[in-house]
Structure 1
Amino acid sequence: MTPHLSSEEIERIAHRRAGAKLGWYVHALVYVLVNLFIFAISRYGFGHRPWSVFPLLGWGLGLAMHGVAVFMLGTGGALREHLVQREREQLQRRNGS
């Protein structure tokens, strides 16, 4: 059973969770952009060997673990405010407010 949380605690937790989720979205965007660049270099630049798969898989594993930590295990801008509001509402529903 979840202990009763004050509105300040709910706000703090909601901000922390929204920040963690926004951090993952930024990480995923950088992953895609950098790996597209690496693929282009691999394909059209140096040697025509598909070496770009190695950074793709390695970094992809890191991105997946980051996602698990944020979305499954995480205790926690218009996008940031939207995420904060969503987390706040979920916490308030669980808190019975």
Structure 2
Amino acid sequence: MERDFSELERLERARKRVKKIKGFYSHLLVYVVINIMIVIINIQDLAPGESYFQYKNFFTLFFWGIGLAVHGLSVFLPDFILGKNWEERKIKEYMNNDKKHWK
């Protein structure tokens, strides 16, 4: 069921989309900066002859990276998880439920 959106609705949807993308890039920037700082600290704390390539040095990078990847998927592939127009369908469902409840 296709719906024609008014200019204001399209503008609002575009603003929301841009806000989500901006949020992802902010998250990405914080991820990179913090992980660079962690790498520098870990390198400074190495004992002479100790290898940097230990699991403890990549723990934050790996698990935060998984979270960042999920965030990226939710921003750039929203239909991948919830399907196309999921948000609009849910809004209509809740509006219909409220309408039935208040009659």
TM-score (norm 2): 0.65
Specify the alignment match of 1:34 in structure 2: 34
Find runs of 4+ consecutive structure 1 residues off by over 6 angstroms.
Answer: none
Specify the alignment match of 2:70 in structure 1: 65
State the structure with more CA Rg. Answer: 2
CA shift, 1:11, in A, is 0.5
Letter in 2 for 1:3: R
Letter in 2 for 1:22: K
Equivalences for residues 73-84 of structure 1 within 5 A:
73=78
* Identity over aligned pairs, percent: 35
Instruction: Indicate the RMSD between aligned Cα atoms, in angstroms.
Output: 1.7
Specify the alignment match of 2:45 in structure 1: 45
CA shift, 1:43, in A, is 1.5
CA shift, 1:13, in A, is 0.3
Residues in 1 aligned to 2:57 and 2:35: alpha-carbon distance in whole angstroms? 8
Unpaired runs of 5+ residues, structure 2, are 80-103
Unpaired runs of 5+ residues, structure 1, are 75-97
CA shift, 1:2, in A, is 2.9
Q: Deviations over 1:45-91 (max 9, x none)?
A: 265554220000000000000000000017xxxxxxxxxxxxxxxxx
Aligned partner of residue 3 in structure 2, secondary structure:
coil
Which of 16-25 and 48-57 deviates more?
Answer: 48-57
Residues in 1 aligned to 2:13 and 2:2: alpha-carbon distance in whole angstroms? 14
Specify the alignment match of 2:22 in structure 1: 22
